[in-house]
C-alpha cells in the first residue's frame, strides 16, 4: 500500500496530467505504408479516467507528438485539455493550471521519459510508469506497478480516488 506522504499529496489533487506515448500507450509507434499512425490504448485506462473525472478531478493530456488517434480517443473520453505537439511541456502545463484555476501542487503528472521531467518537477505528485526511463523513475514520487499502455493510468486513477475517499462511491453503481 501507499505511504502516508503519497496519500496526503493525492488528497490535494484536482488535476491529473498524462503523457501519451509510453503512458497511455506502450510507447510503440505503428505506421502503415501511407504514413498513417496507429496507437493502442488500454480500455481500463479509459474507464479509470472516466471514473476519476466523475469525482471532480480533471484530466489533461500533454504530448510531444501529434496524432489523430490521440485526438479521437481523448474526445471519446471527454477530455477537454488536450495539448499535442508540445515538446516544451511547461507552457502547456502553465496554461492548463491557469485555465482550471489551481496551483501546481494540486496537479499530478504521469510520465515515462525525460521530456516529462520539466512538468514532473513542478507538480504536487510526480508519477512514473513501471517501464519509464531510469532518470524519470529516480525523480518520481511514485512508480506504478504496471507499465505504460498496460493499465498504469487506471492504477493511478484508482489510487487517487482511494486517497480522496471517492473510490467506493465510484464503484457503487457496478455493485447493484
- Cα separations (Å) of 171 from 52, 59, 71, 176? 11, 19, 28, 10
CATH of domain 4-175: 3.40.50.1000
166, 13 Cβ separation under 8 angstroms: no
Give me the pLDDT at residue 2, please. 66
The model's pLDDT over 24-75, given as tens digits with 9 standing for 90+, comes to 999 998 889 998 888 999 999 999 999 999 999 999 999 999 999 999 999 9
What confidence category does residue 110 fall into, taking pLDDT thresholds of 50, 70 and 90? Answer: very high
Q: What is the pTM of this model?
A: 0.95
Give me the pLDDT at residue 41, please. 95
Mean pLDDT of 112-131: 97
Name the percent of the chain lying above pLDDT 70: 99
Indicate left, alpha or beta for 52 from its phi (over 0: left) and psi (-120 to 50: alpha): alpha
Amino acid at each position: 500500500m501507499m505511504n502516508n506522504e503519497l496519500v496526503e499529496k493525492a488528497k490535494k489533487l484536482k488535476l491529473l496530467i498524462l503523457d501519451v506515448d509510453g503512458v497511455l500507450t506502450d510507447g510503440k509507434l505503428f505506421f502503415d505504408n501511407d504514413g498513417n499512425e496507429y496507437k493502442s490504448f488500454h480500455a481500463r485506462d479509459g474507464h479509470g479516467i472516466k471514473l476519476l473525472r466523475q469525482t471532480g478531478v480533471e484530466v489533461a493530456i500533454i504530448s510531444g507528438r501529434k496524432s489523430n488517434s490521440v485526438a479521437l480517443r481523448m474526445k471519446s473520453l471527454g477530455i477537454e485539455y488536450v495539448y499535442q505537439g508540445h515538446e516544451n511541456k511547461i507552457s502547456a502545463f502553465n496554461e492548463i493550471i491557469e485555465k482550471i484555476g489551481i496551483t501546481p501542487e494540486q496537479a499530478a503528472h504521469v510520465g515515462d521519459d525525460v521530456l516529462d521531467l520539466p512538468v514532473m518537477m513542478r507538480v504536487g505528485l510526480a508519477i512514473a510508469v513501471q517501464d519509464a526511463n531510469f532518470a524519470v523513475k529516480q525523480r518520481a514520487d511514485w512508480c506504478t506497478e504496471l507499465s505504460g499502455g498496460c493499465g498504469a493510468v487506471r492504477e493511478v486513477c484508482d489510487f487517487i480516488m482511494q486517497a480522496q475517499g471517492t473510490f467506493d462511491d465510484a464503484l457503487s453503481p457496478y455493485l447493484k
